[in-house]
A and B are shown apart, each in its own frame.
Chain A
Amino acid sequence: MKFDITAIGIEHIYMTLIGYTIVFLALVALYLIFDNLPKVLLIINGLLEKKTEEPKQHAVSSKHNLSGAVNAAIATALHLYFDELHDEEITKLTINKVSRNYSPWSSKIYSVMQSHLQPQTNKVIKK
């Protein structure tokens, strides 16, 4: 394959120029829209706030004007409060009876331990 510059027709050059211009235009249009969007949103918010009643307006503005120190105080208070919380636990203390089920694997040891722990009972059996 040879590099033949004459193969590039005028229609190809037009296509390139138009194509690249459209890509640029699309992104320039997006740039213009989003560069101005915050201003538009600010105007819309301003108009909406004017329409709302006085007490409500006060509440909204105070919400927006929270200083960093107040935020930090609230965050610390919440943190301390949640840190203090503890899972609820059952406070009743009981002694549960531990039952040992019979098992052919441990029966001997079990019986030996029984005899060691209860010598008097064993004596009664001997009689």
Chain B
Amino acid sequence: MEGLYKFYELSGFANATPGHIVMILVGIFFIFLAIRYEYEPLLLVPIGFGVIIGNIPFTEGAGLNIGIYEEGSVLNYIYQGVLKGVYPPLIFLGIGAMTDFSTLISSPRLMLLGAAAQVGIFLTFLGAIALGFNASEAGAIGIIGGADGPTAIFISSRLANGLNDTRNLIGPIAIAAYSYMALVPVIQPPIMRLLTGYKERRIKMKPPRTVSKTEKMIFPILGMLLTGFLAPSALPLLGMLFFGNLLKESLVTNRLADTARNSMINIVTILLGVTVGASTQASVFLTPQSILIFVLGALSFVIATAGGVLFAKFMNLFLKEGNKINPLIGAAGVSAVPDSARVVQHEGLKYDPTNHLLMHAMAPNVSGVIGSAVAAGILLSFLN
């Protein structure tokens, strides 16, 4: 009988708290969103299931070595890839190997939209400081506005990792970043409609010119040199992004590019998603700070979207008729590739079924990836 009681004490039923139940329901909700509405299923399914894994109640400190925060547990070993910032650069390698920068090279002026959208990162940084977070934590929270999950994890693993008088905010920041990335189709359209007029939404842009093979090959090398010299702290991200792109564009390393953009990125996404999800243990995650991070993250995302749209309108003031930019594509500067570009395409078609903006929107979209990585590097060099 005593043995049975001991077994019960070690089981999840005896250790369950309302927090655990809430988090398990959050995990199920993520999986529901992914399956029912297909919101970023490749991210939300692993993260949602990870949330469930991380919130199965157990007796902590009983020497079972099962929790993600318990040294020696298998989950803890996999979590080291998040803590040490190993996974994000590998994801960037895959993104580089699958991204076609042709639209960006053919219309380089659209790069400025990717830069403008980064305003969300820096304004949220100030907002987080005003709400009582220290500078390092604020920097990590601000990067949510970049709408780039791997960058958010990379920065929070360096700036808000529980060391050097900071709190461990990796879980809430990562969940907020990925949630908002998944909610791009819900968050962005109202802001786009609010800031643009009917006529502006119908602006037709010139088709992008053909880009030569040489230009495509030069882009990752020059891009690497330039951004690397400006923000060396972003090297792990930008280096891998441009390296992946060179693997793709050189045309002589197809096998490597293929591995980077398929098998490798899939493996890393699985590991990253599950461990980030599992790191949201109720005791660590359900805090007032997490709620503030979600609010700030949403604000950051809204400001970033508005920044891109408004800057496109500003650029139009100096552009001749027939050469103007459809301001809707400014929203794609937030780097949630390719979701925000898809949202732009969808919105554009609503107002003119013959106006296809996808190719144009991909330019600020990929420049947003570069912009947010540069911003991350700058924040790291200031705050680390």
Chain A: residues with CB nearer than 8 A to chain B? 1-5, 7-9, 12-13, 15-16, 18-20, 22-35, 37-38, 41
Contact = CB atoms under 8 A, between A and B. Distances in A.
B129 A30 contact: no
B130 interface: yes
Given A4-B130, A5-B130, A33-B226, A12 B115 contact: no
Contacts, number: 109
Contact of B219 (A4, A13, A34): A34
Interface in B115-156: 115-116, 118-119, 122-123, 125-126, 129-132, 135
Given A1-B288, A19-B379, A26 B374 contact: yes
B111 interface: yes
B42 interface: no
B378 interface: yes
If over half of A's interface residues share one DSSP class (helix, strand or loop), that class is named, otherwise mixed; here it is: helix
24 contacts: A1-B131, A2-B131, A7-B129, A7-B130, A8-B129, A12-B126, A16-B122, A16-B123, A18-B378, A19-B375, A22-B230, A22-B231, A23-B378, A24-B116, A26-B227, A26-B230, A27-B111, A27-B115, A29-B230, A30-B223, A30-B370, A34-B104, A35-B108, A41-B212
B333 to A, nearest CB: 10
B115 A24 contact: yes
Interface band, chain B:
35 or more
A37 B230 contact: no
A8 to B, nearest CB: 5
B374 A7 contact: no
Contacts of A31: 108-109, 111-112
A34 B129 contact: no
Contact of B122 (A7, A19, A33): A19
A42 to B, nearest CB: 10
